[in-house]
Amino acid sequence: MTSIDELILRSTNPFDNYRSVNFWDQQQATEPTVNSIHKDAIAKIEATLDQVALDHRTRTVRLEGDPGSGKTFLLGRLKRKLNSKAFFAYIPPFPQSDEIWRHILRYTVNSLVEVPHRQQDSQLLQWLKSLSVFKRRSFGQRLRQGSIWDWLRNDKQRFITNLKETYQRAPIYNADSFFSLLHDLTNPKLYPKACEWLKGDDLSEESLEQLGVRHSIASEEAAYEILANFGRISIATQPIVLCFDQLESIACLPDGSLNLPALFNANTKIHEENHNFLIIISIIINTWKQNEHRLDQSHKDRIDTHLALRPISIEQAKSIWATRLFPLHSQAKYQPTSVIYPLKRRYLEAELPSGKTNPRNALLIGRDIFQQYKEWLAQESRERFKPSSRHKQQNNEPSELLATFKLSWLEEFTKIQETILSIRQLSSPELIRMLQDVLVALQVEGIETSWLTKTKYASYSLSYQLPSQIGKVRVIWTEDSNMNSFFNVMKICQKEVDNHTNTVLQLIRSVGVGKPSNAGHKLYQKIFTGSPHRHLIPSLNSVHYLVTYHSLVKDAREGDLLIGSETLGLKALQALIRESKILDNCQLLQDLGIFAGQQQEDPRDLSNQKQDKASQDSQHRLLSAKDYLLNLIKTQGLMGRQILVQNICSQFTQVSESQAEQLIEQLCQEKQISILNPREQPEAQLIFLKKRE
């Protein structure tokens, strides 16, 4: 084994990861937690949850904190700690105020289909099995000879009848269809489609027929009623916890202010009309103060508990340091005498004269001092190590900031690839909102939203101006698989073409456009064949670009986007995204003509490129790995060769160790990096960034 100082020289900075994301994204990660931090808030929320479980009366908790106080991380801790007591749903910001119920329903179901850590069934199936109807004695006698799911699959109508009899006093909305869908959850073949219906997807006629229902959830009222159904029949089950987070990115009012009234109006409606919910609204303290006057007193009165996250102590900050340094210490030949070596408590005391801070600032202090110590080790200085104060340090060099941003982007992009497995996981309003964020960042002119005004598809659309075109480019993005809906969209597009001859339409749609005999398909052919109007088929990879950027945008708006040691606002993020040119690789943006000088590819010409695609992908992967390698060295200053190879192969799973070694040699030959001790064995070699002369 190796000494602790040798490990520090070779390692990446253990304080580099600050971000807390949707608490389902890394549900099985063993991220260290300091249990004493915010324990009072957790205890009060647990006590409130116990009250809901006891009397089934819906309650609301307003959770306040400054940026960096750990609000999002706390929601994840609650889920991990209390998932045995309740079903959890994470509700991200809603993009459209007039579709808030569909948004809440979609993400409630999306969360319920998640499988909790160390469980076999999804939350949704656990909820279904826990319904009181299945605890009746008559059911128990009937099920002695076989499993409950076998019996359910064999007698759908009896299942529906029994549920209707059991919950006849509850005003179940559309009871036959709802209970039929619950039965379909027990059929593995129908389970995915049943989940899609429950979350409000506009399903195809074939899917509706398979499920035995006539219509998808087509209105805000219907979406609310389906959400309410979960509460109406779940009195005997565990509560459902709805967690609203990152409110700085919710839809805005016409004056540009956040539409918090829409959210708190929804909270009031759930609070007054539904049972067995615990609603947690996580909000920045200043955001609440600035918007509180916009809320009716009746909405404020529905907040049962108000919790403010308090600053943490130096001892708690020290514990955060210990959790980050533990993996490094565990590899050392001899354990350091201090659990926070090479850091010291007095460094915290010097930085925090008040004795208080927040979790993120504790990580930032640890990151900067660890990096300074690593540089001091590399210099082999005989002087005693003395860290400089963070207040005296300058911001990162522009090149280092850009390198750190590229690493942060790649880390987030990889997470998004693992969680977004289908474009239809996202609604059309969300996709359009994400596209709008990207167009704003790229300084596209003339951006307007909702050109399909006074239609149900307004939130599916936006428009913008290209320098090379006279008229506006009008975009509509619809992934609804129902052909009646598609026909309605095509009628609107035809009307637009007839009324504005200089308009260019861009239909973005990955699902099919129907059979040639369908009325919608015929209109589609008329509009998008042999004309300037185009149908763009987005790849999942392109959507990953949009979702990744949107994720960073939400952090920037919350004041939670850290790149290196800097907290970036939205304008700084937009400047970095332009400077990095990361979005240039997004095929959908290329197809939309966003990047000047890049020709849009004709889909008919793509067949000639397929033979070279594999080699192009391989070359692109190696170039990306090479860029990643250089950025890692720029941000870490010094790294062990073996650790560097491991990082490359971990980030790029299709790059072999030998290819990673070749990339190191290439950068050495290009004089961008150097080996500090080339005569040592490869596992002992240290690589550093070569300074420009």
Tokens of 273: 């009309």
Best CA proximity match to 152, nearest among 123, 174, 128: 128
State the pLDDT at residue 29.
Answer: 46
Q: Which helix (H) or strand (E) holds 611?
A: helix 610-636
Q: What is the pTM of this model?
A: 0.92
State the pLDDT at residue 692.
Answer: 54
The answer to whether residue 17 is domain-embedded is no
Q: Rounded to whole angstroms, how far apart are CA atoms 393 and 409?
A: 25
Same domain, 366 and 252: no
410 pLDDT tier (thresholds 50, 70, 90): very high
The letter for the amino acid at 459 is S
Q: Rounded to whole angstroms, how far apart are CA atoms 685 and 691?
A: 18
The answer to whether residue 606 is domain-embedded is no
Q: Is 356 helix (H, G, I), strand (E, B) or coil?
A: strand
State the pLDDT at residue 373.
Answer: 95
State the pLDDT at residue 514.
Answer: 92
State the pLDDT at residue 134.
Answer: 67
Same domain, 480 and 577: yes
Dihedrals φ, ψ of 62, to 5°?
A: -100, 115
State the pLDDT at residue 21.
Answer: 53
The answer to whether residue 347 is domain-embedded is yes
Query: Is the pLDDT score of 150 beyond 70?
Result: no
Specify the range with the lowest mean pLDDT, choosing from 118-122, 152-156, 604-608. 604-608
Q: Which domain holds residue 84?
A: 36-115+234-310
Q: Rounded to whole angstroms, how far apart are CA atoms 531 and 507?
A: 13
Asked whether the beta carbons of 559 and 72 are under 8 A apart, the reply is no
Q: What is the mean pLDDT of residues 509-513?
A: 94
Per DSSP, helices labelled H in 233-358 are 260-273, 285-291, 297-300, 314-329, 345-351
Asked whether the beta carbons of 409 and 578 are under 8 A apart, the reply is no
Let me know the angle formed at the C-alpha of 559 by 553 and 564, rounded to the nearest 5 degrees. Answer: 85
Q: Is 638 helix (H, G, I), strand (E, B) or coil?
A: strand
Q: What is the mean pLDDT of residues 573-594?
A: 96
Query: Is the pLDDT score of 149 beyond 70?
Result: no
152 pLDDT tier (thresholds 50, 70, 90): low
Residue whose tokens read 């409950």: 148
Q: Rounded to whole angstroms, how far apart are CA atoms 293 and 258?
A: 12
Q: Rounded to whole angstroms, how far apart are CA atoms 389 and 143?
A: 69
358 pLDDT tier (thresholds 50, 70, 90): very high
Q: Is 6 exposed, middle or buried (0-12, 13-18, 19+ CB in 10 A)?
A: middle
Q: How far apart are the first and last CA of the chain?
A: 38
Query: Is the pLDDT score of 142 beyond 70?
Result: no
662 pLDDT tier (thresholds 50, 70, 90): very high
State the pLDDT at residue 369.
Answer: 96
* CATH number, residue 48: 3.40.50.300
* Residue 237, strand partner residues: none
Same domain, 288 and 434: no
Query: Is the pLDDT score of 600 beyond 60?
Result: no
* pLDDT digit string, tens, across residues 24-55: 655 444 456 799 999 999 999 999 999 999 99
The answer to whether residue 45 is domain-embedded is yes
Q: What is the mean pLDDT of residues 539-552?
A: 97
Asked whether the beta carbons of 630 and 673 are under 8 A apart, the reply is yes
Same domain, 280 and 384: no
Query: Is the pLDDT score of 468 beyond 90?
Result: no
Instruction: Examine the fold and report which residue of 206, 228, 250 is the final residue of a domain before the chain moves on.
Output: 228
State the pLDDT at residue 138.
Answer: 54
The letter for the amino acid at 259 is N
Same domain, 317 and 302: no
Rg (CA), the chain: 28
The answer to whether residue 672 is domain-embedded is yes
Same domain, 219 and 282: no
Q: What is the mean pLDDT of residues 581-597?
A: 90
Instruction: Examine the fold and report which residue of 348, 363, 392 is the final residue of a domain before the chain moves on.
Output: 392
Query: Is the pLDDT score of 263 beyond 80?
Result: yes
Specify the range with the lowest mean pLDDT, choosing from 458-472, 510-524, 631-645. 458-472
* 3 state SS for 334-351: CCCCCCCCCCCHHHHHHH
Q: What is 396-448 written as a DSSP string?
A: PPHHHHHHHHHHHHHHHHHHHHHH---GGGS-HHHHHHHHHHHHHHTT-EEEE
State the pLDDT at residue 599.
Answer: 45
Q: What is the mean pLDDT of residues 378-400?
A: 79
Dihedrals φ, ψ of 617, to 5°?
A: -65, -40
Same domain, 368 and 508: no
State the pLDDT at residue 23.
Answer: 64
State the pLDDT at residue 147.
Answer: 58
455 pLDDT tier (thresholds 50, 70, 90): confident
Asked whether the beta carbons of 667 and 661 are under 8 A apart, the reply is no
Strands (E), 467-546: 473-477, 504-508, 534-536
Query: Is the pLDDT score of 260 beyond 90?
Result: yes
**Average pLDDT of the chain?**
89
* pLDDT digit string, tens, across residues 83-102: 999 999 999 999 999 999 99
